[in-house]
């Protein structure tokens, strides 16, 4: 079984909008509904767990019902102190109905341009691995700065990649990797795959999709609107 864990607990403060960015209406529907539609329509996704603040859960349910895609929604989880704690809350809820060898596909609600092809690519790359992460190659020269003021070293950009979402993990090992970081180290985690790497999980890399960007700024929102049909 594959459960999609959609992260929608952020406040979107950098966008300076009246509502969190994932709930802004764009192209006639809330941003969160774009990825929820893709995940709901995909035959490889069995259930969807959504991390969202209590005050938004009822509205999300109504949006799902309006689009007729509420069937796969397994429930809601509460946001945590940071992104990874939100994930941890979601994993704890998913473990109530999923097995240790089942899979969890983690995606951000603020990445509306998720494609069916990217979901499929993650699922197809999973056999023989503990997880899958889409990545993008670095196009620019990459430098290391220990003091954030001067260059300490030149990195080989052919060996450096930028991680994307969605990221796929075997539920049992990934939950255990998170558990090892509690209660403090988990608050230092920025990317979903970091706990897996720290725990030595076997993570396969697949090509990412440059169009699957995260809406963070007003410029991102403008680009997204321009790409809508």
Per-residue pLDDT for 9 more than 70? yes
Q: What is the pLDDT of residue 51?
A: 98
13 vs 116, more confident: 116
When mean pLDDT is compared across 10-14, 100-104, 190-194, the lowest value belongs to 10-14
Question: Which of 126, 121, 108, 129 has its CA nearest to residue 197?
Answer: 129
Length of the chain in residues, anyone?
Answer: 229
Per-residue pLDDT for 31 more than 70? yes
Q: What is the mean pLDDT of residues 63-67?
A: 97
Percentage, residues of the chain above pLDDT 90: 93
Q: What is the mean pLDDT of residues 198-220?
A: 95
Per-residue pLDDT for 195 more than 70? yes
Per-residue pLDDT for 16 more than 70? no
Distances (CA, A) of 51 to 6, 58, 127, 222: 6, 13, 27, 25
Binning pLDDT at 50, 70 and 90, where does residue 14 land?
low
43-46: long-range pairs with CB below 8 Å, 24+: 44/2, 44/119, 44/120, 44/123, 45/2, 45/3, 45/4, 45/72, 45/105, 45/119, 46/1, 46/2, 46/3, 46/72
Question: pTM of this prediction?
Answer: 0.94
Q: What is the mean pLDDT of residues 28-49?
A: 97
Average pLDDT of every residue of the chain? 95
Residues paired with 2 in a beta bridge: 103
Contact between 106 and 5 under an 8 Å Cβ cutoff? The reply is yes
Q: What is the mean pLDDT of residues 136-146?
A: 94
Q: How many CB atoms lie within 10 A of CB 200?
A: 10
Percentage, residues of the chain above pLDDT 70: 97
Q: What is the mean pLDDT of residues 187-202?
A: 97
CA atoms of 169 and 172, how far apart (whole Å): 9
């Amino acid at each position: 079984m594959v459960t999609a864990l959609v992260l929608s607990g952020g406040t979107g403060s950098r966008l300076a909008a009246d509502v969190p960015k994932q709930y802004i209406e764009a192209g006639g529907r809330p941003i969160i509904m774009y990825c929820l539609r893709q995940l709901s329509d995909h035959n490889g996704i069995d259930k969807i767990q959504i991390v969202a603040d209590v005050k938004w859960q009822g509205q999300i349910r109504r949006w799902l019902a309006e689009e007729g895609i509420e069937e796969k929604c397994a429930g809601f989880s509460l946001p945590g102190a940071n992104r990874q704690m939100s994930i941890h809350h979601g994993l704890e809820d998913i473990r109530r109905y999923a097995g240790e060898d089942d899979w969890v596909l983690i995606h951000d609600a603020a990445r509306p341009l998720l494609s069916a092809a990217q979901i499929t690519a993650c699922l197809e790359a999973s056999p023989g691995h503990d997880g899958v992460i889409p990545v993008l190659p670095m196009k620019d020269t990459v430098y290391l700065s220990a003091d954030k003021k001067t260059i300490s070293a030149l990195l080989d950009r052919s060996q450096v990649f930028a991680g994307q979402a969605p990221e796929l993990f075997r539920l049992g090992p990934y939950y255990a990797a998170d558990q090892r970081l509690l209660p403090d180290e988990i608050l230092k985690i920025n990317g979903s795959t970091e706990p897996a790497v720290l725990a030595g999980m076997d993570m396969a890399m697949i090509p990412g999709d440059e169009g699957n960007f995260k809406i963070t700024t007003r410029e991102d929102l403008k680009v997204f609107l321009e790409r809508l049909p």
